[in-house]
Amino acid sequence: MADFWLKLKIWSKVVAVSLAVIYLSFFAINNSEETAKLWFFFGAGREVTTSVLKLVLIAFISGVVVTILIRTTFRTIAQIRELKQRQAVEKREQEFTQLKEKAGMLQTKTKGDGAAPTV
């Protein structure tokens, strides 16, 4: 019985991938000859005529690139924050170590003198 479910799972994936490939083929064939005007900026001569297929591919690739750039920017910001936190912790540890050293160097007088300890 487990063999049946494995075969069903594999064949359903094969069918889904096949349908996606067939759809993409029809999409490419039907949109390769269609033209579209792309407007860039104000003024005369700022429109470009290209095929819909090229326009879709460029838009998809541009979206992927922008997504990667945004993700990289957020990761960089997080790394900068983490670096600042580490530097702050190290600074506090150094200050604490210095305070310990200073406290160790302080000398106190014995109680027998009757004088207050020196700081």
Q: What is the mean pLDDT of residues 36-53?
A: 79
Cα-based torsion angle of the residue sequence 88, 91, 97, 101 in order, rounded to the nearest 10 degrees: -150
pLDDT per residue as tens digits for the range 65-78: 999 999 999 999 99
pTM exceeding the 0.75 threshold for the entire prediction = no
pLDDT above 60 for 119: no
Amino acid, res. 61 = I
pLDDT per residue as tens digits for the range 83-108: 999 999 999 999 999 998 888 888 66
Percent residues over pLDDT 90 in the chain: 50
- Distance separating alpha carbons of residues 75 and 81, to the nearest angstrom: 10
